């Protein structure tokens, strides 16, 4: 992609790269700073290509601050539109959020955007280091006489190496070493005889590379067979026989993408259902707690009412007991009077008996009758 002899702007479909470069250079940023910002955004886009369960924990939140300092990409103008294209449509005071209820952009858009961000970061970095094979295309969109433009006399121009590009993008771990098959110094996009096969289709956008090279890249096979079979077609013909994206993709690729998209939709739905169930459980727990509190309040109010009624009944009971005591006192007095009367009667009877006994004692004994004489 970097070696293609075509306009720099035509390589990008989703990125307005010219506006990003010009506005940020006017704001005081350097090309390397812009490249670093684009590389960070490319990492966010690459993370979106993973399944939801394999992403890092807080993938749906991109904060403005990290470790107490603002992140690099916050300085660059145009990050808001790029993050919205990735699905981070909700902006807050702390950062951008990917809504969990939305499915986000299609997978093809994320693939193309991630490749365009990585390609733009690599193009600017290589251009700044004066290693770009076609620097005139980038100079055309920049302000003339800029102090940040690299000049051909300032640094010695070296032959472009693909490994430098891979080291800049950070994806060299996913490809095998290509240094064993050195590339001859030539322009791979220069015209040459086609041996009756016609001119290969021109590839000018990153989306075309994503649509055709997502499964595997055939550049390794080309570099391995380049020196072994020099009579084959030039380099610009063999690895870049690409088709237009989208509607001209093979049927099995479209089916695979549809299946992946459906799987992501199902995962999002399952996550939403789990969240709804958790919310319902929380609501039920809250309702149960409220009911328990109401029952406790009712019990407390009943106890207070019982205590008040008992306090009110106590003086009434005391009055009733006093009245009963007063009512019971007269019969007791009458019984005492009866007992006294009985005692008096007994005493009187005893006195009478004593008197009778005394009278009997005072009387003389009776004389025996005299016998009459015959």
**Which pLDDT score is estimated for 264?**
81
Condensed to tens digits (0 to 9), the pLDDT of residues 53-102 reads 888 888 888 889 888 888 888 889 888 888 888 888 888 888 998 887 77
SS3 content of the chain, % helix, strand, coil (to 5): 60, 5, 40
Domains of the chain by range and CATH? 9-173 (1.20.58.2190)
pLDDT digits (tens, 9 = 90+) for 280-313: 999 899 999 999 999 999 999 888 888 888 887 7
Tell me the whole-structure pTM to 2 decimals: 0.41
What is the average pLDDT across 220-236? 44
pLDDT value of residue 47:
87
Q: Which residues of 251-265 are buried (b: 16+ CB within 10 A; e: fewer)?
A: eeeeeebeeeeeeee
CB within 8 Å of 257: residues ≥ 6 apart: 107, 108
Q: Is the pLDDT of residue 154 over 70?
A: no
Cβ-count burial of 207 within 10 angstroms (0-12 exposed, 13-18 middle, 19+ buried)? buried
CA distance 49 to 226: 33
């Amino acid at each position: 992609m970097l070696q293609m002899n075509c306009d720099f702007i035509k390589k990008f479909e989703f990125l307005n790269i010219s506006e990003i470069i010009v506005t940020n250079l006017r704001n005081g940023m350097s090309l390397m700073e812009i490249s670093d910002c684009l590389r960070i955004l490319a990492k966010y886009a690459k993370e979106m290509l993973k399944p939801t369960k394999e992403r890092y924990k807080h993938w749906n939140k991109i904060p403005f601050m990290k470790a107490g300092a603002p992140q690099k990409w916050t300085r660059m103008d145009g990050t808001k539109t790029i993050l919205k294209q990735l699905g981070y449509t909700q902006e807050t005071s702390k950062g951008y959020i990917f809504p969990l209820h939305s499915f986000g952009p299609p997978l093809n858009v994320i693939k193309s955007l991630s490749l365009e961000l990585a390609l733009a970061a690599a193009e600017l970095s290589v251009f700044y280091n004066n290693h770009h094979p076609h620097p005139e295309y980038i100079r055309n969109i920049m302000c003339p006489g800029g102090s940040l433009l690299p000049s051909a006399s300032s640094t010695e121009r070296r032959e472009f190496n693909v490994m430098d590009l891979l080291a800049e993008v950070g994806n060299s771990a996913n490809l095998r070493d290509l240094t064993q098959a050195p590339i001859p110094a030539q322009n791979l996009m220069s015209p040459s005889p086609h041996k009756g096969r016609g001119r290969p289709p021109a590839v000018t956008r990153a989306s075309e590379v994503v649509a055709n090279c997502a499964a595997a890249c055939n550049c390794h096979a080309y570099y391995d067979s380049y020196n072994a079979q020099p009579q084959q077609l030039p380099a610009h013909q063999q690895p870049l026989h690409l088709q237009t994206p989208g509607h001209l993709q093979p049927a099995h690729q479209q089916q695979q993408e549809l299946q992946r998209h459906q799987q992501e939709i199902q995962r999002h739905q399952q996550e939403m259902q789990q969240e709804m169930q958790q919310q319902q459980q929380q609501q039920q727990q809250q309702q149960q707690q409220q009911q328990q509190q109401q029952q406790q309040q009712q019990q407390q109010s009943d106890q207070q009412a019982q205590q008040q009624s008992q306090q009110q009944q106590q003086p009434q009971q005391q009055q009733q007991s006093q009245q009963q005591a007063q009512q019971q006192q007269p019969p007791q007095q009458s019984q005492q009077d009866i007992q006294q009367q009985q005692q008096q009667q007994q005493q009187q009877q005893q006195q009478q008996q004593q008197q009778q006994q005394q009278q009997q004692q005072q009387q003389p004994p009776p004389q025996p009758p005299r016998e009459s004489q015959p």
